[in-house]
A = this chain, B = another copy of it.
């Protein structure tokens, strides 16, 4: 924490976001643009920007309002989108991604944001920040459009790991609930386990075992377990957090994004199909814009890595300034609520409770 004052001169108590300016598809401009948008809405955030300082400073020169809100740290190296995670970790020291995480590790920033290579960011995050004691597999949680009042559900894991046993699924439930309390403001989030049917006897053995574990931890973890949910429940308002392994979660997310895009394309086709349709499109432009805003993935941008000593937010690789600013907003909310510390405490107390249960069972 001393480092913070020494090196950045940011006011004490400011929320500091460490942000990787490199590696996204839309370049440094999207990052600086996102910072500008965020700073306008919320002047209490400060930024440590990691990347090519020449490029970053050239953009910052045109934005004098940002001068006192940002510190630029030069990095020579960039982790490219197609670099294998294992290679990124081996040769990534000194890259903008590495340095972005280092600022959180050193305590000069509370949360890290990057648009870069997901696999590399996850592996590097585990290496730099380390897993929370008691966490076997960290997870990536994303917001999913839903019929809930907040407009979203939380779903995890989205692909941090391809496997998850019953204990992992329990931890996903606990971490997801903590995230929903601190990121979405839900008091007692409803947790569902993704399965191919809602009857108790359905699905793989690890899912049935996880169901028992989550149900037993409801009180200790301040969550409500609602049972199995199906793929069709992902956008529903009967659940807040959907727990699944990273393979299934990743496929479900990408399949749904693909479907939404296909429907969007069919909609465009329908309104350009004939002269009459194009005429109708003029009248329909208001409602169509409203629909577009509502399903705009840029407005809910940000996968959160859960289970590490520190919060890392993975912004979509193709995020533009609006997308980056959504990721920054999420970072700010979590940092301000002391999410990292609360999550660590929650995981620790769950581990302790489970130990007690185990030893009790052992005694009985």
Contact = CB atoms under 8 A, between A and B. Distances in A.
A235 B232 CA distance: 18
Interface in A150-209: 159, 162-163, 194, 196, 199, 203-204
Interface string A281-325: 101111110110011000000000000000000000000000000
Interface in A253-270: 253-267, 269-270
Given A270-B287, A290-B273, A291-B270, A256 B256 contact: yes
Given A262-B147, A284-B283, A196 B231 contact: no
A248 interface: yes
Given A204-B162, A273-B287, A291-B270, A235 B254 contact: no
Interface of A: 84, 145-147, 159, 162-163, 194, 196, 199, 203-204, 230-236, 244, 246-248, 250-267, 269-271, 273, 276-277, 279-281, 283-288, 290-291, 294-295
Contact of A231 (B163, B253, B270, B290): B253
Contacts of A262: 145-147, 235
Contacts of A264: 263
Nearest to A265: B147
A194 B251 contact: yes
A314 to B, nearest CB: 15
**Which among A194, A265, A270 has the greatest number of chain B C-beta atoms within 10 A?**
A270
Number of copies: 2
Nearest to A118: B197
Given A162-B196, A234-B258, A281-B287, 5 more contacts: A231-B254, A235-B261, A247-B248, A266-B295, A280-B285
Contact of A232 (B248, B258, B263, B271): B258
A115 to B, nearest CB: 18
A186 B107 CA distance: 60
A93 to B, nearest CB: 23
B162 A247 contact: no
A286 B295 contact: no
